Amino acid sequence: MVFPLARLFGRVKVREDRQARTPPPVLEAAPADVTRLLRLDDETGAALTLSRGRLGVIGAVLGVGFALLGVRAVDLALTPHTESGPGRSYASAPAPRGEITDRDGEVLATNLDFHSLWADPSLVWDAQETAEQLATVLPDLDVERTARLLSSNRRFVWIARQLSPRQRQAIHLLGLPGLDFRIEPGRIYPKKRAAAHLVGYTDTDLNGVSGAELAFDSELSAGDGRPVSLSIDLTAQNAIERVLRARMAEFRAEGASAVLLKVGTGEIISMVSLPDFDPNRPGDEPAEARFNRPVSGVYELGSVMKPLTLAAALESGQVQLTDVFDATEPLAVGGFRIHDFHPERRPLTAREAMIHSSNIATARIADTIGSDVLTGFFSDLRLFERAPVELAESAPPLMPQRWGRVENMTASYGHGFNITPLTLAAAYAALANGGVYVPPTLRPVAPGETIAGEPVLSAATAAQVLAVMRQVVTEGSGGGADVAGLAVAGKTGTAEQIVDGRYDTRSVYTSFISIFPFDDPEYVLLVTFYLPQPTENTHGFRTAGWNAAPASGEIIAQLASILGIAPREADPQAQASVVAQMFAPRVQVRRGPEEPLDIVVAPEAVEGQEP
């Protein structure tokens, strides 16, 4: 048993030694398909190499793509979102809107960056819950409408524009998905309510909506950022607003307005409409507050039309200041009668007809010259058209369907047709300008600049009418407007308004038109109260002599230093008694025909107007 084991182990050793020492045997011939196998081996290796190359290229491309996406993500995270709203180019930014200033450079409207909230509805988890959460920060938000927007298939919807920093922070803290902010320019009005109707306002996209913002919209949005200067004087504007606001409260009036024009240039130095509004948040005010009374409101303004009728009569040559017209009894026309509020019950000269504000005598004057003369003169003064000012809100007058004898007589004292206060103020500026009409304007006029006007009456006629208007202040119903040393000329007007189809004696608009200084006119001021109430101080009266006239005097007294008007105590022409001596009354009394007319008009159309 040992030997075989030894031989076994020995054989193993021998073979190891033999393998180590013996050369390899001669190989037999290779199989016939070995070449094909080697070729397959090479192709497999090449394919593997090619695949590895392609995968490397794909990996490199994906790596670059992910790198670009990462850079874009960082850019979006670190820079403000520039997504634009509907209808705008995503690559373009709004051009800066020009500022609006007053004539001295005081900024009335400018720009400020605001945060606006928008949403991508596809990223919003719960539209209703998101809208309700936003309403906790934005109480004016329409929750149902917002929920509908957030449920839409759109990728961009506006939620709220021009948010305050506090609102933005509060919304940010809500942590709602799908919401983002965009910084966009907004319009602000640093003077708030001052001259709000005249300056106007824009919408959230900076498009002009009203006032100068609309009138000069193309110029303001031109993109060069240049300001637009207005003719108004902010100091004068504030002074007039303070007086009107206080007197409006005193008389418990529903509204008040004022227009201050510069004679010779037509510049609107001030325009006030109360109640007013804050143009920074115009939607917070009722529509009535945004209504521009001097420009958009058309009214029967009453006896302030009488001096214009007198001017037409004097200019025609058919009437002189000393002509006498019978005002003893009410005037019967068309089966109805024209009355005086404070009847003198005696013949009156044309001058006295103005001083005592006689409807009867004024109607006789108009009847004497005829409708062709009166309507022609009113047309020259542009009373039959919208005031030619830059404001788009300027409203046209309301005219009677026909202009017969009755309409001619009632229109002579401001009854039967409606015009805007600005239209009337511009007509009186022509009287103050020596008979030359200059359109009102919001553009400032440079010193020494020549303004083209249109002659509408002679300087002699204009001077006579101004002298009579001065007497209205010193001797008539306009005494409350007199200011020592300023020689104010003016005329009161009180007109009943239609309520439920009839003229209501308790619903009146009161006005006072003034020119100062009358001997060297520089300014025209029209003050109007809408539905003032009688008070203890007015002794139960609500007429213009008790509210509009004294308010005008208070305003003029404050404007004297602001506008640089020198006192005129030493000017003898400012004494109405001297002016009165220039004209001696004549004896002739003009009664005029009083036969019934074929024209049928309402009794209220010819009833007496308060002066």
**Strand, coil or helix: 565:** coil
In this predicted structure, what is the pLDDT of residue 188? 92
DSSP state of 531: S
Give the chain's length.
611
Give the Cα separation of 131 and 144 in Å (integer): 8
Domain-located, residue 56: no
User: What separation in angstroms does the CA of 267 have from each of 262, 392, 402?
Assistant: 5, 17, 34
Give the Cα separation of 430 and 439 in Å (integer): 9
For CA atoms 127, 128, 131, 137, the dihedral sign is negative
Closest CA to 358 of 509, 483, 253, 476: 476
Are 265 and 154 within one domain?
A: no
In this predicted structure, what is the pLDDT of residue 530? 96
In this predicted structure, what is the pLDDT of residue 41? 53
Task: Starting at the earlier edge strand, list the strands of the sheet with 324-326.
Answer: 347-349, 324-326, 589-590
Domain edge (last residue) among 134, 163, 193: 193
Domain edge (last residue) among 193, 228, 251: 193
Per-residue tokens: 228: 């637009």
Per-residue tokens: 42: 């090479």
Are 179 and 243 within one domain?
A: no
**Strand, coil or helix: 208:** strand
Are 408 and 506 within one domain?
A: yes
Residue 443 belongs to domain with CATH number: 3.40.710.10
Angle at the Cα of 71 from the Cα atoms of 67 and 77, rounded to 5 degrees: 140
Q: How far apart are the first and last CA of the chain?
A: 160
Domain edge (last residue) among 162, 178, 193: 193
303 catalytic? Reply is: yes
Q: Which ranges constitute the DSSP H helices of 419-521? A: 421-432, 459-475
Domain-located, residue 112: yes
**Strand, coil or helix: 97:** coil
Which mean pLDDT values do the consecutive 10-residue runs of the chain (611 residues) have?
A: 42 43 48 50 61 72 68 51 39 69 95 86 87 87 89 88 84 88 87 95 91 95 88 97 97 97 96 96 90 96 97 97 95 86 94 96 97 97 96 95 92 94 98 96 91 94 96 93 92 88 84 94 97 91 94 96 81 46 42 36 43 59
Per-residue tokens: 431: 């009287």
Give the Cα separation of 527 and 523 in Å (integer): 13
Are 177 and 324 within one domain?
A: no
DSSP state of 504: E
Give the Cα separation of 468 and 310 in Å (integer): 10
Are 265 and 139 within one domain?
A: no
For the chain, how many helices (H) and strands (E)? 18, 17
Give the Cα separation of 316 and 308 in Å (integer): 12
Q: Which helix (H) or strand (E) holds 271?
A: strand 268-274
Domain-located, residue 427: yes
Are 130 and 252 within one domain?
A: no
In terms of C-beta density within 10 A (0-12 exposed, 13-18 middle, 19 or more buried), how is residue 238 classed?
middle
Are 253 and 153 within one domain?
A: no
In this predicted structure, what is the pLDDT of residue 60? 72
Are 174 and 264 within one domain?
A: no
Domain-located, residue 598: yes
Per-residue tokens: 134: 């936003």
Give the Cα separation of 506 and 533 in Å (integer): 8
In this predicted structure, what is the pLDDT of residue 43? 58
Domain-located, residue 175: yes
Q: Answer yes or no: are the C-beta atoms of 508 and 501 closer than 8 Å.
A: no
Domain with 155, as residue range(s), is 106-193
Residue 181 belongs to domain with CATH number: 3.90.1310.10
Of 303, 477, 511, 552, the active-site residue reads: 303
In this predicted structure, what is the pLDDT of residue 63? 73
Indicate the number of domains in the chain.
2
Give the pTM: 0.76
Are 167 and 270 within one domain?
A: no
Per-residue tokens: 434: 């020596």
**DSSP of 535-550, one letter per residue?**
-TTTTT--SGGGTHHH
Are 441 and 548 within one domain?
A: yes
User: What separation in angstroms does the CA of 75 have from each of 79, 81, 114?
Assistant: 6, 10, 21
Domain-located, residue 563: yes
Residues 6+ apart with CB under 8 A from 197: 210, 211, 271, 272, 273, 276, 290, 292, 294, 295
Are 149 and 262 within one domain?
A: no
Helix axis angle for 459-475 and 421-432, nearest 10°, is 110
CA dihedral 429, 435, 438, 440 (to 10 degrees): 20
Domain-located, residue 54: no
Q: Answer yes or no: are the C-beta atoms of 206 and 133 closer than 8 Å.
A: no
In this predicted structure, what is the pLDDT of residue 611? 59
In this predicted structure, what is the pLDDT of residue 8? 39
Domain-located, residue 222: no
CA atoms within 13 A on the CB side of 35: 2
Are 551 and 483 within one domain?
A: yes
Q: 221: left (phi > 0), else alpha (psi -120 to 50), else beta?
A: alpha
Helix axis angle for 234-250 and 548-563, nearest 10°, is 160
In this predicted structure, what is the pLDDT of residue 94? 55
